[in-house]
Structure 1
Amino acid sequence: MKIITTDCLVLGAGLAGSAYALHLARAGRQVELLSLADPLQANSDWAQGGIIYDTSPDPARLTQDILDASDGTANPAAIAQLVQEGPAAVKELLIDELNVGFDRETAGGLHLTREGGHQERRIIHTKDTTGHSILAAVAARVDATPGITRRSGFVAIDLLTLSHNSTEPLDRYEPLTCFGCYALDTATGEVVAFTARKTILATGGLGGVFQHTTNQPGSVGHGVAMAYRVGARLMDLEYVQFHPTVFFKKGAQPFLITEALRGEGAVLVDAHGRRFMDGVHPLGSLAPRDVVSRAIQHHLAATGEPCAFLDLSALKPDFIRERFPSIHERCLANGVDITREPIPVVPAAHFSCGGVHTDLSGRTNVRQLNAIGETACTGLHGANRLASTSLLECLVAAKACARADLAELTSEASPANVRITNIAPPQPRVWRSPDKVADPLLIRQDLQQIRQTMWNYAGILRSPRRLARARRILLELREDIQAFYRDCRPTRDLIELRNAVQTALLVVHAAALNPVSKGCHHLEAGD
């Protein structure tokens, strides 16, 4: 078995993982950056709307907007960190260093837009492809930075801990400590052990455990499942945010329709052109995402209609083509001219507000194991995320985590962490794979059953009875999948299936334990 040793092992090359890697490498540390596929196959790349930047008029209003969107449940300390450190993080990396081509006014200033839940315009963007513009620039800088080894096509299998994977028997008496991971090289089928002083989970979200999602393929909660298996604390997993507007047409590939369209004046209507959101919330179509998603779902259930519609008639055709070129082109390719007709939309699983619990420096309860980005949960989003906070959270969390890690790695004595931080990581046990090859048909069938179960029983509208049924189905599935996994050589699809069923069970368990409807977690009365 090949063993690769490094200072920092980053699992996930989206914005959070890539930004962290830059900070550590620039400080002279060696970084291994693993990702499932190519550098831009991350949820960060599909973020359309923008990133919060200009809070100068009144930072307190942003604080209030985040708190209001969370239904009063967000962590005030996490909000304060984002509001105070966010603008500088954007300016330093994205504007001053990378010169990301954010849209500008005629006079040269940054163009600011507004999204749902925001009281004012404070979001910068590059047309409707902000995430792609940002991640492409960051990825290019990562590739040009000495000290970072990018390994695409590597799938983390399990985290290494002193308790479970060290060849030294006495290590099991040490506190719970992570020292890397086993990962599958999908190009060769070889399992490689990566040992590190710091391991960072930046694996993205878990939307892929639902039948309808805006997430990239493979987003099934890898980090959550791996962390759970080694004893990390998880929290708020019941709060899965469903984006209210995803393109809907039978036989067409669904894709995100940015909230910025509603920020610029588009409104939600039914099949008869009626604005059904105006009677639901004071902000109408710009209400927080959880409110809009539930309203659409209730409306569709009551009317039997297959979708709602986004009416763009208040926007001029030239403005639509200029401001939202990607959405215009993709809709046109699917037979919908959004300069002349409304966009058919439905909700889909979008963002996990919960995850692996961390402090504001990314530390988990497992020593030397950190989590950042959507994988982590500082409580910033509480029960529901405010639009355009996710990319900003990636930058702020990466910087804070890097700052704390560098302080520990450079200190001569760190008593609480000396077992891994200041000496070489231990020798991991050799990985041994079975010879049997997994049946891909069975994997696809099981994953489809997980997704349908989660969508039908643990989706936008839940009930104790639905959740209990989901749990029974998923527990039986997990037993079958675990037996399947033990008998077969690991593949990307098999690893994803194993993590998907575990993540799905964790979401259902968290939802069943919480009897209070808040934000994204909504229980139907009387069931």
Structure 2
Amino acid sequence: MNGTTDLLVLGAGIAGCSAALRAADLGASVVLVAKDDLGASNTAWAQGGIIGLPPEEEGDSPALLASDIEAAGAGLCRHEAVRLLAEEGPRLCRSFLWERLGVPFDLGTDGSPDPTAEAAHSARRIYHAKDATGLAIQTALSEAVRNHPGIQVRENLCLVDLITSPHHCLSPVRVYEPIQVHGAYLFDPATGAVEGQLAKRTLLATGGLGYLYLHTTNPPGATGDGLAAAYRASARIVNCEYLQFHPTTLYVPGKPRTLLTEALRGEGAHLVNRKGERFMARYAPEQMELAPRDVVSRAIFQEMAASGEPCVFLDLAPVAARLDLDSHFPTVLAACRAEGLDPLRQPIPVVPAAHYFCGGVLVDLEGRTSLPGLYAAGEVACTGLHGANRLASTSLLEGLVWGFRGAEAAVRELPGLSLPDAGDLAPWRTPEDPQETDPLLIDQDWGLIRSTLWNYAGIVRTGARLQRARADLEYLQHRTERFYHEASLSRELLDLRSGIICARLILNAALQNPESRGCHYRVD
């Protein structure tokens, strides 16, 4: 074993950085592990915003926010989690992100953050930094953790497995003891070495799994590493069928999808078909473009299916009539113009894409998982807040709240805890004659996973499609697992192993749930 710490935080987005900062402020020693360079998390990709504390004259309240979250969650929200976030989250956003870290939110004339509207919200309560809110938050968090003397930052390390007893213990009689988590094995792609990082408490904040889908707003690192590791360690995992699709990503054939923020529709952008007709009245006549994301995504899907067109269009003319688009949405305009599109003169081609995972490792209100010693926060965790469908701009706030609460609960448990004897834990073993990883085969396997999930477990699902997908991926998982035990480790192999496990978790959950609810939609 290569190191010890009070708290090991795996993941360096808003949940991981918030947890690390809170634990270190409370006096714990913290090791924070980032899969890529610090700052390259999914948090940095979030455009729209985060729920903040609006002025009293806005007429907002915790009860109104809770009602909006419950409505979007389609009757599956955990009421205690919703109340907790509604009561504590907006104040924490203001006090920690704005007042302490100095996140440069857009300000009103009074010098305070100027909240805006977003789809399915009943009040203007969204703090934003133009259309790059996540990047502004991540930049401030990254600077804070780098400068904190109680935090050791480790970058470009991949999670291999959680260290658990009795699974990794040398003594066979430990098998009678309950499972506990004592840290993690980490792989360094630069050296090819695996190290064991022991910790009194471990917090998963590894993000989501959107890269498993052919069309996604997520970066390539979103391969479900923490979820897969928790599954292998026997943690309780729930709600894997609920994968939210963002309705509007920039459609350019042959190019990755670029998120076009929810705030565009919040400020009045219209969805139109190729004929220029608004079509949301056929699907959500009362809410139109401001309907929940699952409704809008299915409407676009059905409109495309009926017309045979590969996309629909987002018309920004209503927004441009009242706002300076270059000032309010510079990221969106830059992305469009880079593809030769001018949003000021023409509607933007858009399609839905996999965006946010609403399931995950089940946690309580303080971030505890079903395994002693293991906490989770952010997209890898399932707090029950989102239910069957996430309300826009709740995800960053959920990561902040549960990062804080998980850190506080973990630190409270530290007195009296001791680290396991490193001599009682098995050292990492590599195959004597390891096979080399073939990048072409890895790419081929990823192509199968991503196209299978998109086609058979996407926006609209049937039992027959899900059965076909599970059968297609069953052999791939067995082959991948066998190769994992025979080959030299690489980041690509670890990502693939995580991806195939998470794909099957999604498919199994979707097959077991015949009821259409939220973003899990069964036409059969």
The reply to whether TM is greater than 0.5 is yes
Contact 2:257 2:353 in 1 (8 A): no
Deviations 1:224-277 (A, max 9, x none): 111111110000010000000000011333210000000111011111111111
Matched ranges for 1:351-390 at <5 A:
351-390=356-395
d(CA) in 2 for partners of 1:340 and 1:106? 31
**What is the total number of aligned residue pairs between the two structures?**
515
Deviations 1:276-298 (A, max 9, x none): 11231111001000000011111
Deviations 1:38-59 (A, max 9, x none): 1121110000000001255222
Q: SS of the residue aligned with 2:80? A: helix
Q: Does the alignment pair 1:26 with 2:29?
A: no
Q: Which residue of 2 aligns with 1:514?
A: 513
Deviations 1:99-127 (A, max 9, x none): 11110123433211111111121101000
d(CA) in 2 for partners of 1:107 and 1:161? 52
Matched ranges for 1:134-145 at <5 A:
134-145=137-148
> If the length of structure 2 is used for normalisation, what is the TM-score?
0.96
Identity of aligned residues (%): 47
Counterpart of 2:193, as a letter, is E
Counterpart of 1:44, as a letter, is T
d(CA) in 1 for partners of 2:3 and 2:233? 21
Matched ranges for 1:35-46 at <5 A:
35-46=34-45
Deviations 1:340-388 (A, max 9, x none): 1111110000000000001011111111011100000011000000000
Deviations 1:198-225 (A, max 9, x none): 1111110011111111111121111111
Q: Which residue of 1 aligns with 2:193?
A: 190
Counterpart of 1:150, as a letter, is V
d(CA) in 1 for partners of 2:445 and 2:419? 43
Q: Which residue of 2 aligns with 1:407?
A: 412
d(CA) in 2 for partners of 1:126 and 1:321? 13
CA offset at residue 406 of structure 1? 1.3
Matched ranges for 1:92-107 at <5 A:
92-107=95-110
d(CA) in 2 for partners of 1:167 and 1:198? 21
Q: Does the alignment pair 1:70 with 2:70?
A: no
d(CA) in 1 for partners of 2:456 and 2:178? 38
Contact 2:182 2:419 in 1 (8 A): no
Deviations 1:52-78 (A, max 9, x none): 012552221111100000112111100
Contact 1:166 1:426 in 2 (8 A): no
d(CA) in 2 for partners of 1:40 and 1:316? 32
Contact 1:196 1:425 in 2 (8 A): no
CA offset at residue 5 of structure 1? 1.2
| Greater displacement, 26-35 / 50-59 | 50-59
- Counterpart pick for 2:230 among 227, 231, 255: 227
> If the length of structure 1 is used for normalisation, what is the TM-score?
0.96
Q: Which residue of 1 aligns with 2:331?
A: 326
Q: Which residue of 2 aligns with 1:416?
A: none
d(CA) in 1 for partners of 2:319 and 2:164? 55
Contact 2:3 2:196 in 1 (8 A): yes
- Counterpart pick for 2:418 among 411, 416, 422: 422
- Counterpart pick for 2:428 among 431, 454, 460: 431
Deviations 1:304-337 (A, max 9, x none): 1010111111122761111001111111011111
Q: Does the alignment pair 1:308 with 2:312?
A: yes
Matched ranges for 1:121-160 at <5 A:
121-160=124-163
Counterpart of 1:316, as a letter, is A
Counterpart of 2:522, as a letter, is L
CA offset at residue 174 of structure 1? 1.7
Contact 1:34 1:154 in 2 (8 A): yes
Which runs of structure 1 show a deviation greater than 6 angstroms over 4 or more consecutive aligned residues? Answer: none
Matched ranges for 1:487-502 at <5 A:
487-502=486-501
Q: Which residue of 1 aligns with 2:172?
A: 169
Q: SS of the residue aligned with 1:226? A: helix
- Counterpart pick for 1:395 among 382, 400, 419: 400
Q: Does the alignment pair 1:109 with 2:142?
A: no
| Greater displacement, 376-385 / 272-281 | 272-281
Q: Structure 1 residues 159 and 396, CA, compared in 2 at 3 Å: closer, same or farther? A: same
Counterpart of 2:356, as a letter, is F
CA offset at residue 423 of structure 1? 4.4
Q: Does the alignment pair 1:48 with 2:47?
A: yes
Q: Which residue of 2 aligns with 1:418?
A: none
Contact 1:13 1:202 in 2 (8 A): yes
d(CA) in 2 for partners of 1:423 and 1:300? 57
Q: SS of the residue aligned with 2:7? A: strand
Q: Which residue of 2 aligns with 1:453?
A: 452
Deviations 1:417-464 (A, max 9, x none): xxxx33445442111112221111101100110000000000110000
Counterpart of 2:74, as a letter, is D
Q: Which residue of 1 aligns with 2:275?
A: 272
d(CA) in 1 for partners of 2:203 and 2:395? 18
Counterpart of 2:343, as a letter, is I
d(CA) in 2 for partners of 1:337 and 1:54? 35
Q: Structure 1 residues 54 and 244, CA, compared in 2 at 3 Å: closer, same or farther? A: same
d(CA) in 2 for partners of 1:325 and 1:425? 54
Deviations 1:385-426 (A, max 9, x none): 00000110011001111111111113x4xxxxxxxx334454
Q: Which residue of 2 aligns with 1:415?
A: none
CA offset at residue 470 of structure 1? 0.5
Q: Which residue of 1 aligns with 2:481?
A: 482
Counterpart of 1:455, as a letter, is W
- Structure 2: runs of 5+ lacking an equivalent: none
Counterpart of 2:209, as a letter, is L
Q: SS of the residue aligned with 2:280? A: coil
Q: Which residue of 1 aligns with 2:213?
A: 210
Counterpart of 2:492, as a letter, is D
Could you say what the CA RMSD is over the residues aligned between the two structures, in angstroms? 1.3
Counterpart of 1:292, as a letter, is V
Q: Which residue of 2 aligns with 1:299?
A: 303
Contact 1:195 1:425 in 2 (8 A): no
CA offset at residue 168 of structure 1? 3.6
Contact 1:8 1:198 in 2 (8 A): yes
| Greater displacement, 297-306 / 49-58 | 49-58
